[in-house]
Amino acid sequence: MSKSQSHGNGGETHQTTSDADKTLTTNQGLPISDDQNTLTVGPRGPQLLEDFVMREKITHFDHERIPERVVHARGYGVHGYFEAYDGNSKLTEAAFLQPNTTTPVFCRFSTVAGSKGSPDTARDVRGFAVKFYTQQGNYDLVGNNMPVFFIQDAIKFPDLIHSVKPAPDRDFPQAQSAHDSFWDFVSLNPESMHMLMWVMSDRAIPRSLRMMEGFGVHTFRMINDAGESTFVKFHWRPKLGTFSLIWDEAVKVSGADPDFHRRDMWNAIDAGDFPEWELSVQAFSEEEAEAFDFDVLDPTKLIPEELVPLTPIGKMVLNDNVKNFFAETEQVAFCPSHIVPGIDFSNDPLLQGRLFSYLDTQLSRLGSPNFHQIPINAPKCPFANFQRDGHMQMEVPTGRAAYEANSLDDGSPRENPEIGFTSHASAESGKKLRIRPESFADHYSQALMFWKSMTEPEQRHIVGGFAFELGKCKELNIRKRMLGHLHNVDKDLANQVAQALGMEGEADKISPAVPVRDVKPSKPLSQYASAPETLQGKKIGLLVTNTVDDDFYSAAMEAAKEEGAMLEVIALKAGPMQTTDGKDIQPDHFLAGAPSVLFDCVLLAPMEEDMEMLLSQAAAIDWVRDAFSHLKVIGYNEAAEALIERSCSDAKDDPGVVFVEDCDFTSFVKKAKQHRIWQREPSLR
Ligand code: HDE
């Protein structure tokens, strides 16, 4: 029972409160005799201030909350490990990137705008922050699931965030950008245009945290043991592929399961299906950077992989759920300034601002400069210095001298030029000024590159995204300004959005600061151009009635297992049921509690004798209709034909509606691996 947590600094341990004899005690260790009744004068008399047991309990409760993160408040953390590949030493001396090195990591995924209790599937950027507990100290790679950002200079960050957060007078809208103040801000900041293309695309509504890419966004440096610097951009690529929801699905999932992403991650890890990402860098020299037609210090630009391909440097596996959400996920403190020898910063003005902001925010959020002593933040290598005291000091530093250098104690710890971090000695000079470099002035060319790189469905969704969001923006002048920007990106895009809004010909005229370049598409920017055909990590929903055919059920289970997918049974009632052969099964859901939006593809296996009743249920009709209009593959048995006819009369001849004959799931699985039936979409939306 005695649980202890290592601090990682010399094996010191801390006991948790629940210990040896399981007796409930106060925080001072006093056994409690009665935890149900407050101390009163007589059974019906007044309560006594003297009741320290009650006061301690309530006071602690009153202080249970800490300020939520000002951005990225809603997040989900998971433990795992990182394994370095061979061959990184020519790029970096970082110890955790050398061959045969495995490093523990903690990874926190998040939305940006919503508060801590907001739904997981809001349209938003996703944070992708990884803390590597290396032997040279903690390294934090604090990235996003999109490779660019809204603004070029950190000084604009508070304005960006104030514009997207609920309005200060009315405190809504929550967890969304579909409102006047956000579009007002971005339409007055053309540098946002490239990022807006990403945020209006399917990237902003990921299917799963396990199916998202991650990016370091800024240009960083890697330094090898000869002191040579190479510029790098970081990329995380998920083994399962990059997949997204459809907007209507995301909206409905928000209601059906606001915890959709965290539940998905928890369940996968709990089932031993550990998500994995490969970490790569785009590595390039300063001379190469000079030759690009954009500035690598500008965080609104990405480097097309056609220009600099990815070099894989390692992989991350997430394999352990947290034991306590608050202690770990809530208290974890990421700072881009947590760096190790072998990695360094660039002059990207957004990154430079972040190097200040994160430490500052942790001080206010966690309340003490000793936040590094909280177990989730403590390095797993020895650490020692002469910083002392402060709120919640957990250590008991010994010795008389708390300064460096000293000759009173044994003189240690001391600085060490051999192994210590040194900043790359880049040559910097210039006048002190507040000015944006001219090389940051092209705000439209890469937005156009993104647009051109999309497949047809992806383009349709971007148009839909802009139309939805601008449709919620009541100020017509803001819409017109945005249409003007979209015109500068691509006329066809602008016209489609204008048409959807009923505002053809109303775009403002906005002159780009520099001419828009004729850019080529870049294939890796599309999620679907080369999406893997797989069911791995996906979820199949099997709709049954009062019982289910044993052969169908067993074969479906087997097919799902073979594909690495999860199959969940949705029945009419929540209680236990039996298959036709009398096998006991416990449905995972009952119909009204699990709409088809929760699954990637569906199987319909009702019993003939239940059909009349099923066809009278709106929930069953909606279930199938939604699956169809969310472009899902639908497999069905003979009895389900009537249900399909009733819910989607347009399903006839649809390639994704597959009859499962003799419990053979081959055709269903083959189709379902395509993820969605895109050709169905134009006739539906
Ligand atoms: Fe952050 N950001 N950010 N950000 N950010 C925070 O730090 C900030 C930016 C990112 O799971 C805050 O601990 C500024 C870019 C992630 O705990 C805060 C600027 C990128 C997380 C902060 C940026 C990010 C944060 C709030 C503009 C992608 C969540 C709570 C200069 C490369 C980390 C906190 C977690 C969190 C400031 C822009 C990623 C206030 C000033 C660009 C993933 O410090």
Given this model, what pLDDT does residue 1 score? 32
Domains of the chain from N-terminus onward = 75-146+203-373 (2.40.180.10), 539-684 (3.40.50.880)
Closest residue to atom 30 of ligand 1, CA basis? 69
List, as residue ranges, the binding site: 69, 108, 157, 354, 358, 365
Given this model, what pLDDT does residue 685 score? 79
The predicted-structure confidence for 159-208, as pLDDT tens digits, reads as follows 999 999 999 999 999 999 999 999 999 999 999 999 999 999 999 999 99
Which residue of the set 88, 138, 144, 321 is catalytic? 144
User: Which ligand 1 atom lies nearest to the CA of residue 217?
Assistant: 32
Cα separation, 351 vs 347, in Å, equals 7
**CB-CB contact of 231 with 285 (8 Å):** yes
Share of the chain above pLDDT 90, in %: 96
Given this model, what pLDDT does residue 546 score? 94
Cross-strand pairs, 315 = 83, 278
Angle at 519 between CA 518 and CA 523, to 5 degrees: 155
Report pTM: 0.96
The predicted-structure confidence for 457-511, as pLDDT tens digits, reads as follows 999 999 999 999 999 999 999 999 999 999 999 999 999 999 999 999 999 999 9
Instruction: Tally DSSP H helices, then E strands, for the chain.
Output: 19, 20
The predicted-structure confidence for 610-622, as pLDDT tens digits, reads as follows 999 999 999 999 9
The predicted-structure confidence for 622-634, as pLDDT tens digits, reads as follows 999 999 999 999 9
Q: What is the mean pLDDT of the chain?
A: 96
Given this model, what pLDDT does residue 10 score? 36
User: Which ligand 1 atom lies nearest to the CA of residue 215?
Assistant: 32
For residue 639, what pLDDT band results from cuts at 50, 70 and 90? very high
| CA nearest to 349, candidates 430, 287, 434, 441 | 434
157 secondary structure, DSSP code: H
Cα separation, 495 vs 615, in Å, equals 43
Closest residue to atom 31 of ligand 1, CA basis? 154
Closest residue to atom 29 of ligand 1, CA basis? 72
Which residue of the set 7, 72, 443, 675 is catalytic? 72
Cross-strand pairs, 234 = 281
The predicted-structure confidence for 50-95, as pLDDT tens digits, reads as follows 999 999 999 999 999 999 999 999 999 999 999 999 999 999 999 9
| CA nearest to 361, candidates 69, 631, 45 | 69
Paired tokens of 29: 């260790």
Given this model, what pLDDT does residue 20 score? 55
Residue 108 Cβ contacting ligand 1 at under 6 Å: yes
* Residue 348 Cα to ligand 1 middle (Å): 15
Cα separation, 450 vs 341, in Å, equals 35
Given this model, what pLDDT does residue 21 score? 72
pLDDT of residue 268 exceeding 60: yes
Let me know if 144 is a catalytic residue: yes
**Residue carrying structure tokens 């044994």:** 410
Given this model, what pLDDT does residue 4 score? 36
pLDDT of residue 12 exceeding 70: no
Paired tokens of 408: 């009173």
* Mutate-to-test residue for ligand 1 from 357, 364, 372, highest number of ligand atoms within 8 A of CB: 357
**CB-CB contact of 142 with 69 (8 Å):** no
Assign 3-state DSSP to the chain and report helix, strand, coil percentages, each to 5: 35, 15, 50
User: Which ligand 1 atom lies nearest to the CA of residue 362?
Assistant: 13
**Alpha carbon of 122 to those of 207, 285, 613: distances in Å?**
11, 38, 36
Given this model, what pLDDT does residue 16 score? 53
* Mutate-to-test residue for ligand 1 from 112, 334, 362, 374, highest number of ligand atoms within 8 A of CB: 334
The predicted-structure confidence for 204-230, as pLDDT tens digits, reads as follows 999 999 999 999 999 999 999 999 999
Given this model, what pLDDT does residue 13 score? 41
pLDDT of residue 5 exceeding 70: no
Residue with more model confidence, 374 or 9: 374
pLDDT of residue 247 exceeding 90: yes
* Mutate-to-test residue for ligand 1 from 115, 124, 142, 363, highest number of ligand atoms within 8 A of CB: 142
pLDDT of residue 2 exceeding 50: no
Let me know if 675 is a catalytic residue: no
**CB-CB contact of 283 with 334 (8 Å):** no
The predicted-structure confidence for 391-401, as pLDDT tens digits, reads as follows 999 999 999 99
Cα separation, 409 vs 414, in Å, equals 12
Query: What ipTM was estimated for this complex?
Result: 0.98
For residue 14, what pLDDT band results from cuts at 50, 70 and 90? very low
* Residue 179 Cα to ligand 1 middle (Å): 22
pLDDT of residue 17 exceeding 60: no
